[in-house]
Structure 1
Amino acid sequence: MVAFKLLALTTLVACVTAQNATIRYMPFGDSITEIICWRSKLWNKLQGTEWATVNFVGSGKTENNCRDAKYDRDHEGHSGFLAVNIANNKQLDGWLKTNPADVITMHLGTNDLVSGNKPVADIIRAFTTLVASMRTSNPKMKIVVAKIIPVTYTAANTQVQALNAAIGPWAQGLNTTASPIWVVDQYTGFSVSGDLRDGVHPNDSGDTKMMNVWYPALILSMMWGVLLNPDSV
């Protein structure tokens, strides 16, 4: 039994090593995906692991003064964009056509609540449209959706909490084996006084906290793809 487990583990590691170079990962969202440094921190944490060759994809190349010349800057973060508008305008369809992905992380909804005054139900409806776009682009898309970080504005943060509470049941209703949705909690443990630089965007400690939440979910999503679909992540 021990020998079998060792053989299985060896086979899995070999499979992961062979497959991970083909994995295309899209960080998707608004300015909390674009003008931040958690992408740099995430890329650096992947280095030295079997996932070091994962390809970040997207039309954006924003560096945001992270003082890091090495990391893969490709992303699909768009400052000021609303989830509702991205969905209604079918913008993700075009972005994925230009930059196909196998795995997506999504942190979206802040602008809908802070500046757009959109109802939570409309945002959740937009999320459903965005997931449909992801799966149309790639029926085996692995999707990681965040309960979004807090903001300092009390009224908006109450709505952030309401959106976050709705995300879990929504994701469960859309989850499939071929294209799973994992929900990660970027809200809990994130300090509005210590982890934000301007009331909305993470500072360095906030970037580190966000990276540490994304990292295990990203690894799980990539591993899931290798295990279930060894020929096509």
Structure 2
Amino acid sequence: MRLNTSFATIASLVALVTAAPTDLTERQSAVRIMALGDSITGSPYQGCWRAYLWQKLQQAGIKNTDFVGTLPGQGCGFQYDGENEGHGGYLAVNIASQNQLPPWLSSSKPDIVLMHLGTNDVWNNRSPQEITTAFSKLVDQMRASKSTMKIVVAKIIPMNPSNCADCGKRVVALNAEIEKWAVGKTSNQSSITVVDVWTGFDTKTMTGDGVHPNDTGSKKLADSWYQAVAAAIKG
């Protein structure tokens, strides 16, 4: 009888080990990630940095992710989790003043927000202070949705369009303001991490029009986002 009991115990243990997932991340709850921005985040091809970021996370074994948003993914040449809130032509100041963000948050319920926003504001000559004031309202709305929201904000990529000679220096001014703004707005409960996607981004080789990333630019963006996003997911 003792021998039979021992065999049964061993068999049960073997069964448990065999049934256990080999990837620990598969047993974790999915972390919901919302990419918020304009056409650089959402439009076909230009928003493919999200696809490359998802791919890099997968390849690193970080598979407990669910990219969320009310907009579908775009074709980027391979299957990926592509839902997002990249709204072409939108200004941060308008998203804030028109309270467009709360319904998106309510629908998608993110744990992390990735924000590359401000390009259209710069193009429309909105001041860095106007833009970061809008950012503050958006962050307040994110925290109202989830008090422990993790927010990863980009110092936006350079601009050099043919019809906006001053856009390049306006981006530099905005990015400097974003650094200062984030320090004052972050909290222990809901952190704001600034990602520098500006440095090393070449508008000549990484865009087709001085503004929107091409494939090379999308891969550069994914590389720039990766460490901060991976850290936010891991907690």
Residue 178 in 1 paired to residue 189 in 2? yes
Residue 89 in 1 paired to residue 94 in 2? no
Kindly provide the amino acid, as one letter, of the partner of residue 82 in structure 1.
L
SS of residue in 1 equivalent to 2:203:
coil
Check 1:22–1:222 CA distance in 2 against 1; reply closer, same or farther (3 A cut): same
Residue 118 in 1 paired to residue 129 in 2? no
Give the gaps of 5 or more residues in structure 2. 1-21
Residue 28 in 1 paired to residue 36 in 2? yes
- Tell me the residue number matched to 1:60: 71
Superposition pairs for residues 63-74 of structure 1, below 5 Å?
63=74, 65-68=75-78, 70-74=79-83
Residue 100 in 1 paired to residue 109 in 2? yes
Task: Say whether the 8 Å CA contact 2:26–2:64 is kept in structure 1.
Answer: no
- TM-superposed deviation, 1:130: 0.6
- TM-superposed deviation, 1:47: 1.5
Task: Write the distance in 2 (CA, Å) between the matches of 1:37 and 1:50.
Answer: 20
- Tell me the residue number matched to 1:159: 170
- TM-score of the superposition, structure 2-length normalised? 0.84
**Sequence identity of aligned pairs in percent?**
44
Q: CA RMSD in A?
A: 1.7
Task: Say whether the 8 Å CA contact 1:20–1:50 is kept in structure 2.
Answer: no
- TM-superposed deviation, 1:19: 6.7
Residue 142 in 1 paired to residue 154 in 2? no
- TM-superposed deviation, 1:17: 2.7
Task: Say whether the 8 Å CA contact 2:57–2:230 is kept in structure 1.
Answer: no
- Tell me the residue number matched to 2:53: 42
| Structure possessing the higher radius of gyration over alpha carbons | 2
Kindly provide the amino acid, as one letter, of the partner of residue 140 in structure 2.
A
1:67-97 deviations in whole A, cap 9, x for unaligned? 12x2011001100000000000111111000
Mean CA deviation greater in 75-84 or 34-43: 34-43
Task: Write the distance in 1 (CA, Å) between the matches of 2:76 and 2:26.
Answer: 31
SS of residue in 2 equivalent to 1:21:
coil
Task: Say whether the 8 Å CA contact 1:20–1:51 is kept in structure 2.
Answer: no
Mean CA deviation greater in 19-28 or 168-177: 19-28
Number of aligned residues: 208
SS of residue in 2 equivalent to 1:205:
helix
1:157-189 deviations in whole A, cap 9, x for unaligned? 111100000011100001111110000101110
